[in-house]
Amino acid sequence: MNYWPLIGVAWVVAGFALRLNPALTVVSAGVVTGLAAGQSLFGVLALLGDAFVRNRYLGLLLLTLPVIGLLERHGLKEHAQAWIARLRGATSGRLLIAYLATRQIASAIGLTSLGGHPQTVRPLLVPLAEGAAEARHGELDPAQRQSLRALCAATDNVGLFFGEDIFLAFAGVLLIQATLAEQGIVLEPIVIALWGIPTALFAFAIHAGRLSRLDARLAREAARLQRPAPAAGP
């Protein structure tokens, strides 16, 4: 058995540990793995191109991203922040909890494309969360801004991952059914999906608990940043 292709795993680990560009790290690891497996460079590139065409939605690449870029150029982010600032009860934590619930429910009925990082998180959720935070706590520093953006992305991930496990036709549910059938355990997809509900509820409760503490944390950090520095001694 040829173990050299496993060098791609070490390549990915090293790239992430060194905080290199994730996309560049993954693609280069694929090239290294292919070469280690005895493929030619053109063969590896052909495999990568074929996988991209089959597994990535070209409509997302050719339509969604340019449209989002055009909307942002014409003030989508600014309008979103101005709108959220006019809502008195809106906070970053409440907004993200509402999005988490919406994302999870939509995913549970198969509407997984209603959210997502390129079409919802980056152009809409992040500006709304930042606008709500700045309306209450003032200008965010770079560390706070990056932390809030990461939490927005994580909220989308949690809602999608645990919500889609409840959908009957989700590939993961069908994979579980097929795996159990190979072991002689015959279950209908509805049974597997129903057992995904407790997990989804626990995931919602845990992440919503984290989000509920977000506003208090932002308030503490804002107070710390606004606190005057102690006077220097004589």
Q: What is the pLDDT of residues 97-132, one digit of tens each?
A: 999 999 999 999 888 888 888 788 988 899 889 988
CB under 8 Å to 151, separation ≥6 — which residues? 96, 129, 211, 214
User: Do 90 and 170 reside in the same domain of the chain?
Assistant: yes
- Spatial distance between the Cα atoms of 115 and 132, rounded to a whole number of angstroms: 20
**pLDDT reported for residue 68:** 67
For residue 232, being part of any structural domain is answered with no
Tally of domains within the chain:
2
**pLDDT reported for residue 54:** 62
For residue 22, being part of any structural domain is answered with yes
Banded pLDDT at 60 (limits 50, 70, 90): low
Average of per-residue pLDDT values in the chain: 83
Query: What secondary structure does DSSP assign to 66-91, as a single string?
Result: HHHHHHHHTTHHHHHHHHHHT-TT--
**pLDDT reported for residue 95:** 92
Banded pLDDT at 231 (limits 50, 70, 90): low
For residue 233, being part of any structural domain is answered with no
User: Do 25 and 69 reside in the same domain of the chain?
Assistant: no
User: Do 30 and 89 reside in the same domain of the chain?
Assistant: no
User: Do 99 and 179 reside in the same domain of the chain?
Assistant: yes
User: Do 102 and 208 reside in the same domain of the chain?
Assistant: yes
Whole-prediction pTM: 0.69
**pLDDT reported for residue 24:** 83
Hey, what are 99's tokens?
């999005």
User: Do 46 and 112 reside in the same domain of the chain?
Assistant: no
For residue 231, being part of any structural domain is answered with no
Length of the chain: 234
For residue 76, being part of any structural domain is answered with yes
User: Do 28 and 102 reside in the same domain of the chain?
Assistant: no
User: Do 106 and 19 reside in the same domain of the chain?
Assistant: no
86 or 109, higher pLDDT: 109
100 or 136, higher pLDDT: 100
Whole-number percent of the chain with pLDDT over 70: 86
User: Do 51 and 87 reside in the same domain of the chain?
Assistant: no
SS3 7: helix
**pLDDT reported for residue 94:** 92
Banded pLDDT at 176 (limits 50, 70, 90): confident
**pLDDT reported for residue 55:** 55
Q: Answer whether residue 157 shows pLDDT above 90.
A: yes
User: Do 89 and 27 reside in the same domain of the chain?
Assistant: no
Q: Which of 59-63, 92-96, 177-181 has the lowest mean pLDDT?
A: 59-63
Range of the structural domain that residue 130 is part of: 64-226
**pLDDT reported for residue 202:** 95
For residue 234, being part of any structural domain is answered with no
For residue 169, being part of any structural domain is answered with yes
Q: Which of 10-14, 33-37, 43-47 has the lowest mean pLDDT?
A: 43-47
